[in-house]
Structure 1
């Protein structure tokens, strides 16, 4: 991460005053994203929930990271769930793209990794969606909370899992435990 911060400073010095070149607009947008990420990643790493771990496969690419959530309570206790996060060039005007890489039986996460978390929505009717004031820390805490207080059976993405829970809570728990044994260890 220090190498990216150094690179940003060096690039700013090389570019000098901003030119009115349309091609430099996309470069400037990426640069704004990267500058935001340097600050946000430092804040994120200092304030991670104890059940989360962040991994940057390439420390020079803060716009791509993996998150591991290991819930210590509830249905998903004992599992290890991997998420992939990619921050687009237009960040912070648009939310990061997040996908669950671990197969899971969850009402708010499909078996193919799609996630129903309001703050990941660019446009939200209820006003709880993405806003430029949100940060990566909000995303990580939100994903972590999907295993506890944000676990929502009333507004599911995986309708079959939610209906399964309503029909038979014990069998739902057994299926979650089976998925943890098979996919989340």
Structure 2
């Protein structure tokens, strides 16, 4: 139905026969042990995926050294059967559910997609032939898939690929780590706009038949496997089906209803009819994207926190200091000297600072460890300060937060209290408030 072809891709020949493995009880037991070990390696490699930006050398060593060593030992054993790797899409050989859904687990099985990417890359072939290390380069490759609009002129291929608010295509991108672009005539929803853009720079593709471009920029050891995985998923989505059997479309409509707030579970024809395709693909892609997003945010937060620590050490604010507790960069302890023009003068107050994984887009959580008698600080040490809540901005820093807390000690905000009783005392009997605050300072913040 659709044709897929690589651009700038040349598969290497099959791996050579492995040498005899000496010293083991038997060939079969040796293969079984190596297969088990390989399965464990692939599982660990999959877990490392989101952390490639943080641990690039570990990822490359795992690919180029241990995985290739084990695959070489296994040679043409069943797990690396080159005939199996040469097969067409696993969907064509039983990877489809009888109800029209697709089993996502069959698209990227650890022994086909991962090993195929390793065994067919040029650098891998060099390693097998010369036992030398491959370059570990990040390469960019492109795959084109033609859409059969001539065979099915009235079928909405673009809508099926995009899904509600583009979510279906986003899930494919999250799972495969590839960028997917819909190009050609009919790729723009508004026909009038398409005609206006036709022929303009960057829109030359509008003169071509409708097609999909898959782009990947990944380590050379895995890029082929990712492109093959994307091609298999997209080709399966581009197979027109009878609406009565098209559970994928039903799930897209169900998702759209959920997004629009119009889903009716009771009495719905789709109630209780959950496609295995939707369950496996949607949840798998969502989890993959979540892992990648969390990893990126964690790296961003870590870099920001390290920068703030350097700035704080280079130019510390007056009467304040802060730094990490042990090796945990996301947990700091701050020391705040009581302002001289306040009842907290002479006191040394400790506070804890916890940074969220998505800092600086979310504020840090700051709380006093030392007891403070204050209308905006409760017995648990929680602080009522607008910049730690709705007024937080990524432009703020720990240094500015500490200065704001010092200012709050000097000038409480009784109109937005955390402890109403103390706020009432502050408003109606200031001498008593200051006397009690000084007493607490002497008791809890002076040794």
Kept in 1, the 8 Å contact 2:54–2:299? The answer is no
1:64 aligns with 2:107: no
The 1-side partners of 2:325 and 2:416 are apart by 34
Radius of gyration: which is bigger?
Answer: 2
2:396 to 134, 146, 152: 134
Aligned residue for 1:41, secondary structure, equals: helix
Aligned in 2, Cα 1:112/1:161: closer, same or farther, shift over 3 Å? same
Aligned in 2, Cα 1:166/1:81: closer, same or farther, shift over 3 Å? same
Match of 2:295 in 1: 27
Alignment deviations for residues 3-22 of structure 1 (CA, whole Å, 9 cap, x no partner):
xxxxxxx93543686x8353
The 1-side partners of 2:430 and 2:406 are apart by 22
1:11 aligns with 2:54: yes
Alignment deviations for residues 71-107 of structure 1 (CA, whole Å, 9 cap, x no partner):
2411211111111000000111110011111111101
1:96 aligns with 2:364: yes
1:87 to 351, 355, 380: 355
2:419 to 127, 147, 158: 158
Aligned residue for 2:328, secondary structure, equals: coil
Aligned residue for 1:82, secondary structure, equals: strand
Alignment deviations for residues 121-180 of structure 1 (CA, whole Å, 9 cap, x no partner):
0x3xxxxx11122222221221222222x4222322221111112222221111111111
The 1-side partners of 2:368 and 2:339 are apart by 18
TM-score w.r.t. the length of structure 1 is 0.81
- Quote how far apart the aligned CAs of 1:34 are: 0.3
Gaps of 5+ in 1: 1-9, 124-128
The 2-side partners of 1:105 and 1:75 are apart by 10
Once the two structures are superposed, the pairs formed by residues 98-117 of structure 1 within 5 Å of their partners are: 98-117=366-385
Match of 1:143 in 2: 405
**What value does the CA root-mean-square deviation take over the aligned residues?**
2.4
Kept in 2, the 8 Å contact 1:47–1:137? The answer is no
Match of 2:304 in 1: 36
Alignment deviations for residues 38-90 of structure 1 (CA, whole Å, 9 cap, x no partner):
111111222322211213221x3221101111124112111111110000001
Aligned in 2, Cα 1:91/1:55: closer, same or farther, shift over 3 Å? closer
Pick the structure with more helix per residue.
Answer: 2
TM-score w.r.t. the length of structure 2 is 0.35
Aligned in 2, Cα 1:136/1:103: closer, same or farther, shift over 3 Å? same
Aligned in 2, Cα 1:80/1:117: closer, same or farther, shift over 3 Å? same
Kept in 1, the 8 Å contact 2:344–2:437? The answer is yes
The 2-side partners of 1:40 and 1:53 are apart by 12
Kept in 1, the 8 Å contact 2:375–2:412? The answer is yes
